């Protein structure tokens, strides 16, 4: 089972509260809780006993844990200096002992030093704002420092931060902000970093350290603290008990971002997006707890609770000023279904002369499954395969000619769901093979007779399609059941299970969390594995992903590619004869599709800037680059906004929907909610160029199969789309 970590690693980017440069206040020292030491020791015992690649917790592993821990804390080498690393190196070979001896003082000391250094850096950053910057100088800033050494001295660190702050200032200046606004935005940004880290807890430090340990063994082995485990369970079953409001931190306040259709919040008629939550009380007449300055996840935890219980919110309405009138809103908690994260279907109509072909598209964000309900024997439990089967019934009634399963950005989920989903398109047979640590091989098969869809089929994947997505795509490809379109997938060929530490310890309440550990490697039915190599598409599409920095092959300790004997299966078809015709039609069409060509240009430009890894801090040079970008886009006949630089902090420079966005210099939480929602809608409404081309390829396939020739397939673009409810 592939489980996605939903916890927030505050240590990666936060700083601490109240830090000053003149020997002032540093963040409160974090100390390990007794429960954490016990949880760490229990997790180590389980990993040593059940992991596919069990490793002893010795000095060699400790050295790797040390390096992974520092990488988790300071990946861009922005906070520590070399003297810090030298000082901490005394624990390089002893971090594993912290687990075995149930003494976590050493890893917490490292975390506390990180907190101290980050406080110093952001406090220093605020001092740099007072005098502004000279943007006539010819200097540059390195965007990514992951492969660089730590600064050798404090002076070198300060110079690095001077350039970082100067880059932040210039980005806002290029976006049209005046000096006064820029100062206020950046001063507040750095101050928020300081305040935010003042809310970092022992559990955050512990989770960071534990994941340094688990990921040292193997990339997909992780520790989930109790709250992270709860969030994962919600994502898997697509439901929670709450009020039906999506919350976000906007300008330092917990704000209602969206209201979920059918939930208590929207049905009350008393709440709107943009309303701010100032307090939470349990039940009518309960004590109101002020939540101003709280962490978002702590506020969420207060609002959630048992079904049919009452929660009271102290609300500052969206249209009220800071001193405006509050109102109290009482809501009864209900089960909320997360429909936005469920499978969805749409129909794309293609006109080819006098013929209209209809392609059904099913978008599947994850292989979700309500595991507990299934275990209890609930007949109508929620799952990805069940939802897809229902959508297929709807598409068949609409008489679609072909079906495309869109698995882009689907990181996986339930292995059982991958098998069941494959079973919708094959008539019994093996789907995936597993090999455990003892070398024993088992086969997971579809045992149900019949198919939910026996017509033309394709699967659309990208680099973020992983695990269960790869199992499904590989099986469809090996059976010859459908085309695989897109880019090579992630390359995760391992199987995980989750062990609840509290169940083992017989804790009555969640205390220890869970461990997700790799227990097997999965293999395709043809005997190969997707490990490292992923699934190779039959028809490739452009990719923005860099295999060296994203995907299984980017991990130093990933399991190697290997092969076993093929399973006993009979292919359902053979599409190899169609590929030359489909590829030729695809090539001809995209050469005449200006948007597709523009997307390729944008991707090439983004990759070039990423490789360069430098941005100029000279205003004239940057404006020249921006003007060149604008001119290039204006030459396309319709102006599109483009990022002012190639940095990774702002809006995406190029997306798969082919709609580059202007860099406004702001970070998440700094934009107004209205602007955030408008940008989200613009991205959603933008033409999805790669999806359109995948649909066109399926239209070609249908045309070739119907006529016996690809010559009648016309040039089609931007199909008319009808969404199915």
Q: How many CB atoms lie within 10 A of CB 663?
A: 23
**282 and 198 in a common domain:** no
Residue 713 placed within a domain:
no
**253 and 121 in a common domain:** no
Q: What does pTM read for this prediction?
A: 0.91
**Which of helix, strand or coil describes residue 239?**
strand
Residues 6 or more apart in contact with residue 120 via CB below 8 angstroms: 19, 21
**163 and 66 in a common domain:** yes
Would the pLDDT of 228 be above 70?
A: yes
Closest C-alpha to 352, from 719, 715, 631: 715
**86 and 52 in a common domain:** yes
Q: What is the pLDDT of residue 671?
A: 87
Would the pLDDT of 536 be above 90?
A: yes
- Residue 251 sits in a domain whose CATH number is 2.30.42.10
CA distances to 203, 210, 502, 510 from 506, in Å = 20, 21, 6, 10
Residues 416/431, Cβ–Cβ less than 8 Å: no
pLDDT digits (tens, 9 = 90+) for 272-331: 999 999 999 999 999 999 999 999 999 999 999 999 999 999 999 999 988 899 999 999
Into how many domains does the chain fold? 3
Q: What is the pLDDT of residue 1?
A: 37
Question: How high does pLDDT run on average in the chain?
Answer: 90
Q: What is the pLDDT of residue 718?
A: 59
**299 and 383 in a common domain:** no
Q: What is the pLDDT of residue 14?
A: 29
Residue 674 placed within a domain:
no
Mean pLDDT of all residues in 213-240: 95
* Sign of torsion over alpha carbons 478, 484, 488, 490: negative
Residues 6 or more apart in contact with residue 5 via CB below 8 angstroms: 211, 222, 224, 228, 232
173 φ, ψ to 5°?
A: -65, -45
Which of 337, 365, 387 is the last residue in one of the domains? Answer: 337
**352 and 293 in a common domain:** no
CA distances to 43, 465, 545 from 490, in Å = 27, 6, 10
**245 and 205 in a common domain:** no
CA dihedral 647, 651, 652, 653 (to 10 degrees): -60
10/686: higher pLDDT: 686
pLDDT digits (tens, 9 = 90+) for 43-56: 999 999 999 999 99
What's the residue count for the chain? 725
Q: What is the pLDDT of residue 562?
A: 95
CA 174 to CA 597: how far, in whole Å?
A: 28
**391 and 276 in a common domain:** no
Which of 556, 573, 590 is the last residue in one of the domains? Answer: 573
Residue 74 placed within a domain:
yes
- Residue 386 sits in a domain whose CATH number is 3.90.226.10
The mean-pLDDT minimum among 25-29, 222-226, 401-405, 536-540 falls in 25-29
Mean pLDDT of all residues in 370-398: 95
**360 and 493 in a common domain:** yes
**365 and 332 in a common domain:** no
Q: What is the pLDDT of residue 679?
A: 86
Active site residues: 467, 478, 492
Can you tell me which residue has the tokens 């000096």?
Answer: 179
Structure tokens belonging to residue 589:
């069409």
Q: What is the pLDDT of residue 27?
A: 81
Residue 356 placed within a domain:
yes
Would the pLDDT of 13 be above 70?
A: no
Q: What is the pLDDT of residue 404?
A: 98
CA 364 to CA 461: how far, in whole Å?
A: 11
Which structural domain, as residue segments, surrounds residue 295? 239-337
**Which of helix, strand or coil describes residue 216?**
helix
Sheet harboring 483-486: ordered strands across? 539-540, 483-486, 457-461, 402-406, 355-363, 344-352, 720-724
Mean pLDDT of all residues in 712-725: 58
Residue 621 placed within a domain:
no
What string of DSSP letters covers 226-254? HHHHHHHHHHHHTEEEE-SEEEEEETTEE
Would the pLDDT of 31 be above 60?
A: yes
* Angle, vertex CA 248, rays to CA 10 and CA 279, nearest 5: 100
**543 and 434 in a common domain:** yes
Closest C-alpha to 152, from 90, 89, 88, 77: 77
**555 and 458 in a common domain:** yes
Residues 271/246, Cβ–Cβ less than 8 Å: no
pLDDT digits (tens, 9 = 90+) for 618-674: 999 999 999 998 888 888 874 444 443 434 443 433 344 544 457 899 998 888 888
Residue 587 placed within a domain:
no
CA 717 to CA 27: how far, in whole Å?
A: 56
Residue 24 pLDDT level (bands cut at 50, 70, 90): very low
Which of 187, 217, 247 is the last residue in one of the domains? Answer: 217
Closest C-alpha to 135, from 614, 613, 623, 612: 623
Residue 634 placed within a domain:
no
* Sign of torsion over alpha carbons 11, 12, 16, 22: positive
CA distances to 358, 543, 583 from 586, in Å = 18, 16, 5
Residue 487 placed within a domain:
yes
* Angle, vertex CA 668, rays to CA 667 and CA 670, nearest 5: 70
């Amino acid at each position: 089972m592939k489980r996605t970590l939903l916890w927030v690693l505050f240590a990666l980017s936060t700083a601490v509260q109240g830090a000053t440069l003149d020997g002032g206040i540093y963040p409160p020292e974090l100390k390990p809780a007794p429960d954490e030491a016990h949880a760490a020791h229990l997790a180590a015992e389980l990993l040593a006993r059940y992991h596919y690649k069990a490793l002893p917790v010795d000095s060699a592993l400790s050295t790797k844990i040390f390096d992974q821990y520092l990488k988790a804390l300071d990946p861009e080498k922005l906070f520590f200096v070399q003297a810090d690393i030298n000082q901490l190196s005394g624990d390089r070979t002893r971090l594993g002992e912290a687990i075995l001896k149930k003494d976590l003082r050493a890893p917490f000391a490292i975390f506390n030093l990180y907190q101290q250094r980050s406080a110093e850096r952001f406090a220093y950053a605020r001092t740099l704002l007072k005098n502004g910057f000279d943007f006539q100088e010819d200097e540059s800033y390195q965007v990514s420092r992951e492969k660089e050494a730590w600064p050798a001295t404090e002076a070198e660190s300060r110079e690095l931060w001077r350039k970082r702050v100067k880059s932040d200032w210039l980005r806002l200046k290029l976006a049209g902000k005046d000096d006064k606004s820029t100062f206020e935005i950046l001063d507040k940004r750095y101050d928020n970093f300081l305040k935010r880290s003042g809310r970092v807890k022992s559990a955050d430090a512990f989770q960071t350290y534990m994941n340094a340990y688990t990921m040292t063994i193997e990339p997909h082995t992780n520790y989930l603290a109790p709250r992270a485990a709860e969030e994962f369970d919600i994502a898997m079953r697509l439901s929670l008990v709450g009020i039906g409001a999506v919350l976000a931190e906007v300008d330092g306040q917990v704000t209602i971002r969206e209201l979920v259709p059918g939930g208590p919040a929207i049905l009350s008629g008393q709440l709107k997006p943009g309303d701010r939550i100032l307090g939470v009380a349990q039940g009518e007449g309960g004590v109101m707890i002020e939540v101003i300055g709280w962490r978002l996840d702590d506020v969420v935890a207060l609002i959630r609770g048992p079904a049919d219980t009452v929660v009271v919110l102290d609300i500052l309405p969206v249209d009220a000023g800071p001193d405006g009138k509050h109102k109290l809103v009482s809501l009864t908690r209900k089960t909320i279904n997360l429909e936005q994260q469920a499978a969805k279907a749409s129909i794309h109509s293609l006109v080819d002369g006098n013929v209209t072909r209809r392609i059904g598209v099913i978008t599947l964000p994850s292989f979700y499954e309500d595991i507990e309900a299934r275990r209890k024997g609930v007949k109508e439990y929620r799952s990805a395969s069940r939802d897809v089967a229902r959508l297929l019934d709807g598409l068949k009634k609409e008489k679609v000619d072909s079906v495309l399963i869109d698995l882009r950005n689907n990181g996986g989920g339930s292995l059982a769901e991958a098998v069941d989903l494959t079973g919708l398109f094959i008539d019994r047979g093996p789907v995936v093979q597993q090999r455990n640590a003892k070398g024993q091989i088992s086969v997971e098969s579809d045992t149900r007779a019949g198919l939910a869809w026996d017509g033309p089929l394709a699967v659309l994947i990208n680099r973020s399609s992983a695990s269960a997505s790869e199992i499904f795509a590989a099986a469809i490809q090996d059976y010859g059941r459908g085309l695989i379109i897109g880019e090579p997938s992630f390359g995760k060929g391992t199987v995980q299970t989750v062990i609840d530490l509290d169940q083992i310890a017989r804790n009555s309440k969640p205390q220890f969390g869970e461990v997700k550990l790799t227990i097997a490697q999965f293999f395709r039915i043809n005997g190969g594995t997707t490990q490292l190599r992923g699934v190779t598409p039959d028809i490739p599409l452009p990719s923005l992903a860099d295999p060296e920095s994203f995907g299984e092959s980017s991990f130093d300790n990933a399991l190697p590619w290997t092969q076993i004997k093929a399973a006993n299966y009979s292919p359902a078809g053979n599409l190899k004869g169609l590929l030359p015709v489909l590829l030729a039609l695809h090539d001809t069409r995209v050469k005449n599709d200006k948007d597709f060509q523009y997307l390729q240009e944008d991707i090439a430009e983004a990759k070039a800037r990423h490789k360069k890894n430098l941005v100029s801090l000279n205003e004239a040079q940057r404006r020249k680059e921006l003007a060149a970008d604008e001119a290039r886009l204006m030459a396309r006949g319709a102006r599109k906004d483009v990022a002012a630089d190639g940095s990774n902090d702002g809006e995406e420079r190029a997306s798969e929907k082919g709609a580059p966005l202007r860099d406004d210099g702001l970070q998440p939480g700094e934009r107004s909610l209205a602007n955030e929602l408008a940008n989200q809608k613009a991205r959603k409404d933008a033409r999805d160029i790669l999806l359109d081309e995948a649909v066109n390829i399926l239209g070609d396939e249908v045309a070739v199969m119907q006529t016996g020739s690809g010559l009648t397939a016309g040039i089609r673009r931007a199909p008319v789309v009808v969404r199915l409810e």
